[in-house]
Amino acid sequence: MRKFHSLLAIFAATSATLVSFTSAAAEVNIYSARKEALIKPVLEKFTEETGIEVNLLTGKADALLARLNSEGKNTPADLFLTVDAGALHRAVQADAFQAVSSDEINSAVPSHFRSTDNLWFGLSLRARPIFYSPERVNPDELESYLSLADDKWSDRICIRSSNNLYNQSLVAALIEHHGAEKTEEWAEDFVANFARKPVGGDRDQIKGVAFGVCDIAVANTYYFGHMLNSDDAEESAAAEKVKIFWPAQDKQGAHVNVSGIGITKHAKNVDEAQKLIEFLVSEESQKWYAQANYEYPVREGVEWSETLQQWGDFKQDDIEMDILGENNGDAVRLMNRAGWR
């Protein structure tokens, strides 16, 4: 009898330990450069379906990466999520990720939307086309990014500054397609066509077109989607005055970039982290991205939202996302030499 009670005590202690371990393991921690409102709903859905709690810390990509590096092996972060291929490449250079082996993820994410060595994976796409005023621009005048260097666009273009990663990635892609010399010549003439010194974010460039500051702008589509569907009457009215032109459709296609995610090198909850990535690239989550964020799914065959469908189908540049990061330094130096500030 005394032996039986001893066994019960051991079993109870072991069970308590297992419960404690399971509870501690059933969580995953994310450092995210994506704003909370744009990611939290799908994370809550993941918790609801799996029981795995998600702890989210948001901030600027560079600041989060610096924190990840300084924490080293003591970091609580299991995943690092950011919003540009260049930022993902910086994380790779900082040795912040570990490789992930998952047939489920690889089958969902096309090879050019993930790193070549499976250190990170694209979650959503944002295209960076040309926006124009239909009152002042005939779309037949538009062609490609390179055509924006033509004299006819003098004092007519709005775009963000050269320190914006989205612009850096666009120029990095142009370097890959056209070479550094031709791209620098283009950049010099392109900068000469600016209607104003670069200021503000992508929404400000679209508003610049709407309010007559400029006639065309280069910006990401998901900002435009949020503007069109905004509760702010002024913002939605401004977006209604602007149209999308898909550039380079007879060449490489419109530039696209990714938000992406990777498991950190010193992750403590690797299995849970992988499950979350698998969930984020599932058909259900990919459809939510398109509906709620006006971003394009990385997964093929997922239905686009009504807003995306209204913009029409288009040819995407299928450049490897790794190249955008690899060419980033050259792009920044080129933009600075061209006077793009």
- Residue 215's domain spans which residues? 127-255+316-337
pLDDT of residue 94: 97
Give the separation between CA 115 and CA 92, rounded to whole angstroms.
Answer: 9
pLDDT of residue 331: 98
Sign of CA dihedral 35, 89, 335, 176: negative
Structure tokens given for 213: 């500051």
Whether residue 102 is found in the same domain as residue 184: no
Global pTM reads 0.90
Which residues, at least 6 apart from 285, have a Cβ–Cβ distance to it below 8 Å? 42, 45, 279
263 three-state secondary structure: strand
In a domain? residue 309: no
Tell me the binding residues for Fe cation.
222-223
Whether residue 54 is found in the same domain as residue 161: no
pLDDT of residue 21: 36
Total domains in the chain come to 2
Whether residue 117 is found in the same domain as residue 132: no
In a domain? residue 22: yes
Whether residue 85 is found in the same domain as residue 205: no
Tell me the binding residues.
222-223
Kindly report the CATH number assigned to the domain that includes residue 72.
3.40.190.10
SS (H, E, C) 107-170: HHCCHHHECCCCCCEEEEEEECCEEECCCCCCHHHCCCCHHHHCHHHCCCEECCCCCCHHHHHH
In a domain? residue 311: no
Whether residue 212 is found in the same domain as residue 284: no
Whether residue 180 is found in the same domain as residue 294: no
Q: What is the mean pLDDT of residues 115-138?
A: 97
Whether residue 40 is found in the same domain as residue 107: yes
pLDDT band at 17 (very low <50, low <70, confident <90, very high): very low
pLDDT of residue 57: 97
SS (H, E, C) 193-252: CECCCCCCCHHHHHHHHHCCCCCEEECCHHHHHHHHCCCCHHHHHHHHCCEEECCCCCCC
- The answer to whether residue 6 scores a pLDDT higher than 70 is no
Left (φ > 0), alpha (ψ -120 to 50) or beta: where does 312 sit? left
pLDDT band at 290 (very low <50, low <70, confident <90, very high): confident
Whether residue 178 is found in the same domain as residue 325: yes
pLDDT of residue 289: 83
pLDDT band at 55 (very low <50, low <70, confident <90, very high): very high
In a domain? residue 308: no
Query: How buried is residue 208: exposed, middle or buried, by Cβ count under 10 Å (0-12/13-18/19+)?
Result: buried
